[in-house]
Amino acid sequence: MLRTDTLSPRNLPLTAELHSYLLHHGRMTPDPVLAELIERTREAVPDQAHMTVAPEEGALLSFLVRLLGATDIVEVGTFTGYSSLCLARALPAGGSLVTCDVSAEWTSLAREFWQRAGVDDRIELRLGPALETLRALPAEPHLDLAFIDADKPGYIGYWDELVPRLRPGALLLVDNTLFNGEVVHEHPAEKPAAVRAFNEHARRDGRVELVMLPLADGLTMARRLPDTAAAA
């Protein structure tokens, strides 16, 4: 039977049981190193542990790096290093990841697990304001993939620095773009309001094509268009 309610919600409620099934059958269950990093993060920063990306999102990051054959990656927001570990593990020989954060404390745990996983030689951690780090990167299009998962009021600035540095066909991924559903509240608080402003900013950007997925807390995926397509 054909469905005619094409605009109605079709996403299944993700119960704990279904989530476990998803991770297992999608081969996305965290391996021992990632599982221990999750646990150590919960112990070290229990009030912020929710900032670790979901296992299925980490698996998607690795998948996309391999799919693109990405060798030059930038991440904005390191935290304790789960997403950067997923990105770096998928890099080919000679690939590199620059990751930005402001916390030496949180990233010290990241450094420990990068070393344990044998990927610390592929990762360059730059501590300091991310906008300064991004502005210091080469200006020409050279990035294969970028991932934004940091302070929400900074999203538009990070986007505007990264998009021109993406080569045509490269991906820019942005986390938390549904912000627990609060982006549709009539009077959202500061962070979801910043995310909502970013979502509109990204939607209007003709330099990319994009999709927004209801993965974890919302994930926006944008593909850089050739300049001729962006100008059309």
pLDDT in tens, 11-60: 788 899 999 999 999 999 999 999 999 999 999 999 999 999 999 999 99
User: What CATH number is given to the structural domain containing 77?
Assistant: 3.40.50.150
Cβ contact 173:223 at 8 Å: no
Residue 1 resides in a domain? no
Question: Around 90, how many Cα atoms within 13 Å sit in the side-chain half-sphere?
Answer: 22
Q: Tokens 């912000």 label which residue?
A: 179
Percentage of the residues of the chain whose pLDDT score is greater than 70:
94
Residue 18 resides in a domain? no
Residue 7 resides in a domain? no
Residue 9 resides in a domain? no
| CA 102, chain centre distance (Å) | 17
User: By residue range, what is the domain housing residue 206?
Assistant: 27-45+53-231
Query: Is the pLDDT reported for residue 147 higher than 70?
Result: yes
Pairing verdict, β 166-175 and 219-224: antiparallel
What's the domain count of the chain? Answer: 1
Residue 226 resides in a domain? yes
Residue 218 resides in a domain? yes
pLDDT tier for residue 148 given thresholds of 50, 70 and 90 = very high
pLDDT tier for residue 229 given thresholds of 50, 70 and 90 = low
Phi, psi of 132 (to 5 degrees): -65, -40
What pLDDT, on a 0 to 100 scale, did the predictor assign at position 20?
Answer: 96
